[in-house]
Amino acid sequence: MKKVVLAYSGGLDTSVCIPLLREHYGYDKVIAVMVDVGQPEADINEGVERGNKLGDLFRLIDAKDEFVRDYIFQLIKANGSYEGYVLGTAIARPLIAKKVVEVAKEENAEAVAHGCTGKGNDQLRFDAVFRATNLDVVAPVREMSLTREEENKYALEHGISFESEKRWSIDENIWSRSIEGSELEDPAFFPPEEIFQWTVSQDNAPDNADIVKIEFERGIPVSVNGARADGVSLIKRLNEVGGKHGVGRTDIIEDRVLGFKARENYEHPAATILLEAHRDLERLVLTRNELRFKEVVDQTWSELVYQGLVMDPLYDALNAFIDKTQERVTGTVFMKLKKGVARVVGRESPNALYSADVSFDAKQETRIVEGFSVYHGFQSRMYRKSLE
Ligand code: ARG
């Protein structure tokens, strides 16, 4: 008996994959696995219903805690952002792929499958994890070059129905919401308010600010306004308060792995708040040398994650460096949220490398600095004089 395990989302692409895997690829048993990384409840419910109906076996795996603990927290420590926005979709894919592989092993399946098309980044991210196993990798929608129209027709013939055609293509997890497709493909098109669900517009945000106090331990957020919370609840809480103030919207032209430019819109209030706060705390406790070097590490880390290359040994090596630096990233950051902006207004840490002895107001040993100043810019001066 030929068995395949499919990464299932409940949407059109992955739904048509189920009959395709039987009819065109000859699998006897299609196991649909839906991994819950914090999609909207309605999507999960719909996926569960459809997956049970279509698949020979269906499994829903709640991976929210693991997602936050092993992926989001590491992203915070790495200040993970790509071309100026917080990584969202990219960070969830390796975990989804990992869960699918786990089920394939349990079920003794010979193949794993995903429903990605041949255009985006996600195919590469799934493939990178899938291909690191001995399993066959199948991607029906990509391999058969199906258009949206062909998929809809095929779905209808197989009794797969969707209430309405979705205008936007949305990918959502607990950390980030990404919206693309339709008119948004035109970089000049203004994003309509209806695409946003987590954040109000700057215009509709309240005039009164909120101050949030975030505590970090070893680079990881552990409490908001004095209340300790597990990662999932903490992120939900910050998404709410940040969203209320219109914090965390991104509209960006992004370079995909394949080199195509794409127009993308994102919402990520908690991510914006936590990354601003974390970066600020690092500035208080890490040395100048650490900060300079870590910036390069963080950028390389983010590129690997964007490309889905978390199986690369470099990813582990960078994480080891990052974890070492985070041993001291403990402290509290105060953020002011107002009209779409999250701004740090105060910070403190037992590990601060800040000394009041050399602060602006302190009486200084100016004679010592005078000596330093004599040779400051020495080479530049020599060069300028040579031009005379
Ligand atoms: N461009 C982003 C990425 O590659 C997000 C893609 C999300 N997909 C979507 N259908 N909105 O990570």
Confidence (pLDDT) at 163: 78
Confidence (pLDDT) at 343: 98
Distance linking the first and last C-alpha atoms of the chain? 86
Report the nearest-CA residue for atom 2 of ligand 1.
89
| Ligand 1 pocket, mutate which of 82, 122, 256 (most atoms under 8 A from CB) | 122
Q: State whether the Cα torsion 264-265-270-274 is positive or negative.
A: positive
H helix or E strand, kind and range, residue 83? none
Give residue-wise pLDDT tens across range 171-226: 999 999 999 999 999 999 999 999 999 999 999 999 999 999 999 999 999 999 99
User: What percent of the chain lies above the pLDDT cut of 90?
Assistant: 91
Buried b / exposed e across 256-269, counting CB within 10 Å, b at 16+? ebeeeebbbbbbbb
Q: Within 13 Å of residue 181, how many CA atoms lie on the same side as its CB?
A: 13
Distance CA 210, CA 265 (A): 25
Q: Taking 90 as the threshold, does the pLDDT of residue 356 lie above it? A: no
Burial class (CB in 10 A: 0-12, 13-18, 19+), 167: middle
Confidence (pLDDT) at 166: 82
Give residue-wise pLDDT tens across range 275-319: 999 999 999 999 999 999 999 999 999 999 999 999 999 999 999
Is the shortest distance between the CB of 111 and ligand 1 below 6 Å? no
Q: Where in the chain is the domain with CATH 3.90.1260.10?
A: 175-348
Q: Indicate the fold that domain 175-348 takes in CATH.
A: Argininosuccinate synthetase, chain A, domain 2 (3.90.1260)
How far does the centroid of ligand 1 lie from the alpha carbon of residue 173, in Å? Answer: 11
Query: Is position 164 annotated as part of the catalytic site?
Result: no
CATH of 3-165 among 3.20.20.140, 3.40.470.10, 3.40.50.620, 1.10.1510.10? 3.40.50.620
Confidence (pLDDT) at 368: 80
How far does the centroid of ligand 1 lie from the alpha carbon of residue 344, in Å? Answer: 29
How far does the centroid of ligand 1 lie from the alpha carbon of residue 137, in Å? Answer: 21
Beta bridge partners of 169: 180
Q: Where in the chain is the domain with CATH 3.40.50.620?
A: 3-165
Is the shortest distance between the CB of 91 and ligand 1 below 6 Å? no
Q: State whether the Cα torsion 320-132-141-23 is positive or negative.
A: negative
Tokens of 233: 């609840």
Give residue-wise pLDDT tens across range 96-141: 999 999 999 999 999 999 999 998 999 999 999 999 999 999 999 9
Confidence (pLDDT) at 358: 78
